Amino acid sequence: MNDMTIRENIKVVEKVIASACKEAGRDTQEVTLIAVSKTKPIEMLQEAYEYGCRDFGENKVQELLDKYEILPKDIRWHMIGHLQRNKVKYIVDKVYLIHSVDSLRLAEEISKEAGKKNVCVRILVEVNVANEETKFGTTCEEVKQLVQDIAKLPNIRVKGLMTIAPFVENAEENRPIFSKLRKISVDIMKENIDNIDMEILSMGMTGDYGVAILEGATYVRVGTGIFGVRQYMP
């Protein structure tokens, strides 16, 4: 894929975002596009950066760190992949938002390492709404308690919820998943828990971000739709 294509792809994604916002009666400013750049080379991220992207998503700590070192410092790095506790210390002061917190133990580790570096880390709680066995995330039943427990920890702040919807042929099939996550977020907001807010809903990927926006997404995470299909090294 050449550079021109990346620009064109982002323009297409922006058009879809704009029309979904229009349909939902929402302001486009409410939705932020995260360019999911995992497995992709620096040059491709640079092209997206030059076009105007400032939010990038990665799912591996080492890869995020490598790219962080090289690319401009005004990028907001989003950790969207499963995070191991022993790697938390490397990223707490480098990421803008961790989307994938799904246990109190992980949150405690983030809180501890953030304290050492004297930062406050913004996080989302990942919910496995569809209850897929292959996916990480807490359950719909446990998420409220988890948010309440994390809220008591220092140097960490819950900003909202994230989900990875199943892979489906027709994006509409995921609509109930997205609406359920939003409903959970509204329920938690009503609890008025100190030290948390529910302003972020991170949901929707290349196959279904339009529908996610109709259901209230504030961050959409688009990889393939911008950078093309990923090739994983064996």
Binding site for ligand PLP (CB under 6 A): 36, 38, 59, 80-81, 164, 205-207, 221-225
What are the Cα distances from residue 31, in Å, to 50, 72, 118? 20, 23, 30
For ligand PLP, which is the closer residue by CB, 20 or 36? 36
Q: How far is the CB of 60 from ligand PLP (least distance, A)?
A: 10
Q: Which residue is nearest to ligand PLP (CB)?
A: 223
For ligand PLP, which is the closer residue by CB, 110 or 153? 110
Using CA atoms, how far apart are residues 132 and 107, in angstroms rounded to an integer?
22
| Cα three-residue angle 135-139-143, rounded to 5 degrees | 125
Q: How far is the CB of 136 from ligand PLP (least distance, A)?
A: 9
For ligand PLP, which is the closer residue by CB, 49 or 56? 56
For ligand PLP, which is the closer residue by CB, 113 or 208? 208
For ligand PLP, which is the closer residue by CB, 188 or 222? 222
- Where are any strands of DSSP class E within the chain? 32-36, 55-58, 76-79, 97-101, 121-126, 156-162, 196-202, 219-222
Q: How far is the CB of 116 from ligand PLP (least distance, A)?
A: 27
Q: Which residues contact 65 (CB under 8 A, 6 or more apart)?
A: 90, 91, 94
For 20, half-sphere exposure in the C-beta direction (CA atoms, 13 angstrom radius) is 24
Q: Which residues contact 32 (CB under 8 A, 6 or more apart)?
A: 55, 218, 219, 220
Using CA atoms, how far apart are residues 103 and 147, in angstroms rounded to an integer?
10
Q: How far is the CB of 212 from ligand PLP (least distance, A)?
A: 11
Six token digits for residue 158:
């819950």
Q: How far is the CB of 191 from ligand PLP (least distance, A)?
A: 26
Q: How far is the CB of 36 from ligand PLP (least distance, A)?
A: 4
For ligand PLP, which is the closer residue by CB, 38 or 182? 38
